[in-house]
Structure 1
Amino acid sequence: MNVFVLKLIALITMIIDHYGAIFHHNEITFRIIGRIAFPIYAFLIVEGFIHTSDIKKYAKRLLIFAFLSEIPFDYAIFGEINFAHQNIFFELFIGIVALYYIEKKEILSQQISIIFIAGLISTLLMFDYNLLGIIYICTFYLTKDLSKNKRFSFVLVTIFISNLLISSSLQQYSLISILFIYIYNNEIGPKNKVIQFLFYLSYPLHLIIFAIMRFY
């Protein structure tokens, strides 16, 4: 299970989730499948942060696609411009920023403060997944040096408790994603600029398609 395959799984399950949210409001199966996507994206953001040679360029790319995706997101999900909920790229961007500052702090209380501030910003600005998403991202990062079994035991417990306290029972299906992440083999898989761009582009593109379908 390499990065390429994990990205495909996250992308496909996210598209299924959005399709269900837009066109099949009362069918929970789509939403259950969709819970798999975000923890994988959170994990991949951490992997990207660890291995990137230019964190500022990485963050800038996330922010650019956040703004490019916002109108397609609004029209696909809400059918109009709506500032009550922002797309997932904003959440990933604030997550990267949080990791950047956490890396500079060695004291746990300071790291927790950064997580709280990032979660507060995400919640106030109504980014997708808000505080919960920041917890996912930071948990994967802060456990990166543990042995594999200890890391994923800690991740499982943290996500379960966070889901329980912050989200709904539906979000507990996100734990399924840990099975895919656990068998990650630390390999990248197929990679070039075109593939990278297509993965980024697929987010606003599928939302544009769904927005068109919604109106026609």
Structure 2
Amino acid sequence: MEPSLQSTAISEPDGGNQSRKPGITGSTLKLIAIITMLIDHAGAVLVERWMQQSADGTGIDGIYALYIGMRSVGRIAFPIFIFLLVEGMEHTRNRWKYLIRLWIFAIVSEIPFDMAFNLEKSQIFSGQLLELGYQNVFFTLAVGLMVCIGIRIVEEKPFKNGIKITLNLLMTIAGMAAAELLRTDYGGIGVLAIVMMYLLRDRRVIAVIACCIILMFSSSLEIVAFLALIPICFYNGERGWKLKWVFYIFYPAHLLILWMIGSLTGLLG
């Protein structure tokens, strides 16, 4: 998931500390998403720079194959994070605290994100730590969650169906526009995928398929995202290990580590 959630986001759904049912717990799903995201980002930050520096063409085919392979694996992560986001919204005691937490970590993660993806080392050492042309995926998740909370509020009101549909459509369009204006990872397509996952949340397989179809409009490589359906189908609805803060901490931390590796190896100019 580069530049492409209770709270399994990026918290696990309620349940005991250990699974009592067969299948995959929320914490296991989260770890799968984290690992595939790490592979993706290592490809985007390190292997892509390695490929760019192989100007003489030596081994370029092998490096390119490695790059495409790592970026393809990374396509699995975002649908899982979206699924966990929706699960988190359904189970959290306070949706607004959940949303605030996402916005806080979106801001906290932006400097590490820009260092890894958007800035040259010379710019960083000259004091520039932000580049507003492309924002991290926490912003996409936060905007998507805002829309879903708005839809939930409308669902609970005694409005006629036509009014509900109109309001939900307007909120979705506004969320997509906000993501595009903020230039977030996955942009408006990402927000639409989140909304679709929420609207179809009672039909898990259809929800994931619809989400992945939408994501394919951002890149043909997103066809690999359909593989996320496998672990999600085995999700047993239980929390598993208490990993509430793992993703929040891991996301900015792994970006800083990748930047350090790239800087020390000379891959990041």
Q: TM-score, normalised by structure 2?
A: 0.73
Aligned residue in 1 for 2:109: 69
User: What is the aligned length?
Assistant: 207
**Do the aligned residues in 2 keep the contact of 1:91 with 1:134 (CA within 8 Å)?**
yes
1:189 is aligned with what amino acid? Answer: G
**More deviation in 4-13 or 72-81?**
72-81
Unaligned ranges ≥5, structure 1: none
Aligned residue in 1 for 2:251: 203
Unaligned ranges ≥5, structure 2: 1-23, 49-63, 121-129, 156-163, 265-269
**Do the aligned residues in 1 keep the contact of 2:194 with 2:211 (CA within 8 Å)?**
no
CA RMSD after TM alignment: 1.5
Measured in 2, the distance between the counterparts of 1:200 and 1:121 equals 23
Aligned residue in 2 for 1:78: 118
Q: Report the Cα offset of residue 113 of structure 1.
A: 1.8
2:68 is aligned with 1:19: no
Aligned residue in 1 for 2:165: 108
Superimposed CA distance per residue, residues 169-206 of structure 1 (whole angstroms, 9 cap, x where no aligned partner): 11111111111111111111012xxx322321000000
Aligned residue in 2 for 1:181: 232
Q: Which has the larger radius of gyration?
A: 2
2:197 is aligned with 1:135: no
Aligned residue in 2 for 1:163: 215
Measured in 2, the distance between the counterparts of 1:3 and 1:205 equals 22
Q: Report the Cα offset of residue 72 of structure 1.
A: 0.5
SS at match of 2:239: coil
**Do the aligned residues in 2 keep the contact of 1:66 with 1:90 (CA within 8 Å)?**
yes
Q: Percent identity?
A: 39
| Moved >6 Å (runs of 4+) | none
**Do the aligned residues in 1 keep the contact of 2:212 with 2:222 (CA within 8 Å)?**
no
Give 1 or 2: higher helix fraction.
1
Measured in 1, the distance between the counterparts of 2:34 and 2:151 equals 28
Measured in 2, the distance between the counterparts of 1:163 and 1:57 equals 28
